[in-house]
Structure 1
């Protein structure tokens, strides 16, 4: 009788272990990113956490952009320059629709603080409009570097 119970216990443990392995294989590993968004008064940016699938590691820059930007602005492409210390984001015509100085500050601030928080090697961010650094707007810095020294968070 003891031998039957022992065999039953081994079979049960083996089955449970296999079921747990099958469940874990279907689970996507996630890490947490901190993204910034405008506060209620559009004065500062505030953090929130989002889950980021680990297998998307190579597309973190695009993922961050899509999580942060609520304006009708699309990221055409991006590149890292100067030994990966400068992040250049090439934006479409949607950037022309960012409204006013507060909207521009929150747009740039949310992007900058989020990239600086999650990509520690990036020291400056440059926004382009359709590949051009020609300054079109007075409230979004096109072609001018946004540096870590600038803060959009409440001090």
Structure 2
């Protein structure tokens, strides 16, 4: 599922919305055109993730049980990911205690995490697709390369 579809589904899991409301809220920084949103809505409808009901002449879109389950799974995976990151970083607790002793350093760490997060998410997507395609050897090679890059960066 693409980014807009996921965002729309998350929005609709909270409440019913018209196409206009969805267009205004799907992107945090700008209004997205109906021409961009409607094909995504159509895919979500066809996939059974959302439905709509008529209220006067307005279509109010809402998440179905399947859509709600998808959002719940995303939220659970996000929580698990945060927990695992925290669990792994606790092994480096002294590093973080020293690093976070000043507000400036804490902000630098937040910035570093923010800059790396899109790349990390993309890496997870690639590994997920490789796993689904049964390409476990390629996953091993990719993980080894990530490890080498991490080693090179720490030298």
The higher-RCO structure (CA 8 Å, 6+ apart) is: 1
Q: TM-score, normalised by structure 1?
A: 0.21
Q: TM-score, normalised by structure 2?
A: 0.21
User: Where is the helix percentage greater, Structure 1 or Structure 2?
Assistant: 2
